[in-house]
């Protein structure tokens, strides 16, 4: 197993720098997901429309909504994206103009 060690011995090691901490957080997250999934079969819901009675409806609804948001964001990226040097042309100083007013003195 590869251990992540800082480049310098005096460099601070943060919580998420250690792979075992990341693994622990992920295991807790997966455990909570399973518990909430199982509780969905036992919790009584006051439904308003018929499709809310489908087991795990809210989990499926949330997953589909997240996928749709990602797909919409990909489409928006094509519309809103600019060239890599979009701002660099306007931000280049004119070589004939002085950089500041004090340089003329």
Q: What are the tens digits of pLDDT across the range 31-64?
A: 999 998 888 888 888 889 998 888 888 888 999 9
How much is the average pLDDT of 78-89?
83
Is the Cβ–Cβ distance between 16 and 22 less than 8 Å? Answer: yes
Q: Buried b vs exposed e over 33-68: b needs ≥16 C-beta within 10 Å?
A: eeeeeeeeeeeeeeeeeeeeeeeeeeeeeeeeeeee
- pLDDT value of residue 73: 96
pLDDT digits (tens, 9 = 90+) for 65-83: 999 999 999 999 998 888 8
The two tokens of residue 83 are 């060239």
- pLDDT value of residue 23: 97
């Amino acid at each position: 197993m590869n251990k992540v060690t800082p480049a310098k011995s005096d460099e601070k090691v943060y919580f998420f720098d250690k792979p075992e901490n990341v693994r622990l957080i992920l295991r807790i997250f997966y455990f909570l997901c399973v518990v909430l999934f199982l509780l969905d079969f036992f919790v009584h819901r006051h439904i308003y429309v018929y499709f809310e009675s489908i087991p795990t409806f809210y989990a499926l609804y949330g997953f589909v909504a997240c996928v749709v948001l990602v797909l919409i964001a990909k489409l928006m990226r094509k519309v809103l994206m600019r060239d890599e040097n979009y701002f660099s042309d306007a931000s280049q100083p004119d070589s004939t103009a002085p950089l500041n007013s004090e340089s003329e003195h």
